[in-house]
Chain A
Amino acid sequence: MQQHAHNDNLIGKNSETLSQLRQLVAGLEGCYTPASLPERSAKTGQQRKAEVQAFTGDINGGQVHEIWAEEPEDTTPSTAFILNALTETDEPFLWVTSRRQAHEHGLPYGPGLAAMNIDPARVLLVRCRDEKEALWAIEEGLKCAGLAAVIGELEHMDLTASRRLVLATRYQSQRCLLLLRTGTEPASAAHSRYRVKPAQSQPSAANTKAPGPAKAEIKLTKHRAGKRPSTQTMEWHHAQDHLSLLAPVANRTPSPRTATAKQALG
């Protein structure tokens, strides 16, 4: 009986290592087969929600949060990360963008927002000529009650400007979510800063050649309330619980699968 259990455990361990190796190879080759796909973790929606809340929970507070897109292609995952913080309410939100940003990265697209559980009618889009106007518009928006948040797309940020925004959030304890498209990490007075990068998605078993649910690597690089910097991988499903933390796939020591959440801190 005992022997049998031990054997089972061993087989389980081996098969897991094997599946991880398969995934690694498939990832490197860029060619997945149904056999190389990992099992989905059996977490309930509640558990996933709690995990997400623990990581991004304080984005809901009345402060300035920076979502930092280091590379141009990081802009869209950053947008999705911001939108995810807005699904809780039904209030409209102000989306301030500049002509240059709209040209480089496009404008929010209603059908896509609807798929992310955001009613496109909630978007109040402000298209400014330049960054100076955009900063003014963000500041005005922060002084207004009745908005879910103010989203600002900017390319530069300095201490003076961010300090002004921080003071403006105090009027109505409004949320300011800045999407910063800067190559270097800016110095600012923001409460927290998340760096968002797209990650390779896990294809679904139904179609292994197609991109699966979108994944992004999110790194908390700054937190004024003293949270430790950490990295998480998040996945978007176009479904009810559409954001969840994922266990890292590659580059980890094989360990037996447990029911608890696996998070890679570092």
Chain B
Amino acid sequence: MRLAQARAMAPHIHLAEANPEADAKALNALARWLVRYSPLVALDGADGLLIDSTGCAHLFGGENTMLNDIKGRLKKAGITAQLSIAENRAAARALARYRPGTISTSKEETQKILASMPVQALRLTEGMTRTLYQLGLKTIGHLTSQPRPALARRFRGKPSKDVTALLARLDQIAGRKDEPISPLSPLPNWQVRQAFAEPVGHMEAIEYATASLIEDLCLTLMKAERGARRLDLSAFRVDGSVQTLTIGTSRASRDKAHLMRLFTEKLDTLEAGFGFDLLILAVRETEKLSPSQIGDTREETAQSTANLLDRLATRLGPGSVCVLKHRHSHLPERAQTFAPVSEATLGWQYLQSLTAPRPIRLLMHPETIEVLAEIPEGPPRRFRWRRKEHRVLKAEGPERIAPEWWIDPADRTRDYYRVEVASGARFWLFRHGLYSSPGLRVGEASTPDWYLHGFFA
């Protein structure tokens, strides 16, 4: 039906332009919010959500109560939803779409309900569905009563993909074949939760709740002899939005005070709005952490440094605290990278010791200098850098560093010079490109540029 036709039939029709991106985003947000019921929540197409509630239903007072709870909350948030629970995923998907509100926990019951449902519930291609209708196989019951080899034989003319899909769907819906679920976030190692009877908006209350959650978690971790490396605190707001704070530690920790301190840095960023009704603290990464000896000063010092780095990284943001890491490259700026502190391999033992002197400070991006007086194939005599003129008295070089053609074929050769200017300051200059006769080599410009790259002591 066309829009004009529809409007002629019902003039009061409300018009909204389709926005699939916004829809997907909203569905994703809803899925994150549903993590309050089970950690395993996955998107199911563009219009469905799957929750693996194995072992979770009893926390909410059984399947029936849980389903009503979800329905009630979604209704309050203004979302019309069709829900059902079944003992396998494919069946739950079919029931939610074609017989919402069904709760079936046993295999026989599910099969009985499914038998009377139309074949569309199997999510087959349109052509396949049409063929099944033409053959008179209108319900799932019709299909399951057919012998399997006969079914496969009957569709010999069809693309084999369709036939395989049909058989797979039948297996899945009968619970014979498991269907993988890809949850939004990986399953946490441990998680603890704190639900509030009334929405909580005060920072003190949230801090207190977080502290008690951390205490619970640390107790569990201690029993398992594990230490946390990454923690997520998810705060569920009454209006259905979720805010997640993530903290990371540079070495495994189950120190209550330390973890709390890291969270305190971030708790201010929570926006309470009308208040939170649930907090979930989940451990995403753990490492083995044996109980440590009391009075081991070396261990304590190492721990104190690690705690400091965690605090700095939490306040200043990830990537701001790092160590210098060596990389095998002749290009100076590529020979050193910055790595997070926890990274074990730094590779400085492989540093080549037989190179020309290297500066102690290196600019991240070489800066262009204006050469005022130059001799071909030699260092500049005078140059201007940052609006200041320098006269070169002594120079050493060139140290020729060829470009890494396997990374950037258009890069040019560099000739590095160590120069000392009249004030005594020592710079590392390079000429980008060679002086060459035209047409000699590809990628060599006739007028090379000069750059300042580093500083010597």
Contacts and interface: CB of A to CB of B under 8 A. Distances in A.
Contact of B426 (A71, A116, A198): A198
Nearest to A197: B424
A201 B319 CA distance: 38
A125 B364 contact: no
A21 interface: no
A221 interface: no
A238 B357 contact: yes
Contact of A200 (B319, B358, B420): B420
A123 B457 contact: no
Given A76-B457, A200-B420, A112 B360 contact: yes
A170 interface: no
Contact of B320 (A103, A116, A128): A128
A126 B355 contact: no
Interface of A: 30, 32, 71-77, 79-80, 83, 92, 94, 102-103, 105-116, 119-121, 123-129, 133, 136-137, 140-141, 143-147, 197-201, 203, 207, 209-212, 214-216, 236, 238
B323 A125 contact: yes
Given A207-B396, A236-B457, A126 B361 contact: no
B180 to A, nearest CB: 42
B392 to A, nearest CB: 9
Q: Please indicate which of the listed interface residues B322, B338, B355, B359 has the most CB atoms of chain A within 10 Å of its own CB.
A: B359
Contact of A109 (B353, B362, B396, B420): B362
Interface string B212-225: 00000000000000
Contacts of B320: 126-128
B360 A76 contact: yes
Given A30-B422, A111-B336, A214 B324 contact: no
Contact of A144 (B305, B355, B364, B393): B305
B307 to A, nearest CB: 8
Contacts of A144: 304-305, 307-308
Contacts of A198: 423-426
Contact of A121 (B323, B338, B454): B323
A94 B316 CA distance: 15
Nearest to B300: A145
Interface size class of B (residues with CB under 8 A): 35 or more
Interface of A is mostly: mixed
Contacts of B357: 112, 115, 238
Given A114-B348, A115-B358, A124-B309, A210 B394 contact: yes
- Per CB-CB distance, the 8 closest pairs between chain A and chain B, nearest first, are A80-B457, A146-B301, A198-B424, A210-B396, A112-B360, A73-B425, A30-B393, A111-B358
Q: Please indicate which of the listed interface residues B305, B308, B320, B363 has the most CB atoms of chain A within 10 Å of its own CB.
A: B308
B424 A201 contact: yes
5 contacts: A102-B364, A106-B455, A107-B362, A112-B454, A200-B424
Contacts of B301: 145-146
Contact of B360 (A113, A136, A207): A113
A121 B324 contact: yes
Contacts of B362: 106-107, 109, 112
Nearest to B311: A140
A109 B418 contact: no
A111 B426 contact: no
Interface of B: 300-302, 304-305, 307-309, 311-312, 315-316, 319-324, 326, 332, 335-336, 338, 341, 346, 348, 351, 353, 355, 357-364, 386, 391, 393-396, 418-420, 422-426, 454-457
A154 B402 CA distance: 37
A50 to B, nearest CB: 22
Contacts of B424: 197-201, 215-216
A110 B422 contact: no
A6 to B, nearest CB: 40
B107 to A, nearest CB: 59
A248 B455 CA distance: 24
A121 B361 contact: no
A76 B359 CA distance: 9
Given A92-B305, A108-B360, A128-B316, A211 B455 contact: no
A166 B359 CA distance: 32
Contacts of A102: 364
Q: Please indicate which of the listed interface residues A79, A110, A197, A198 has the most CB atoms of chain B within 10 Å of its own CB.
A: A110
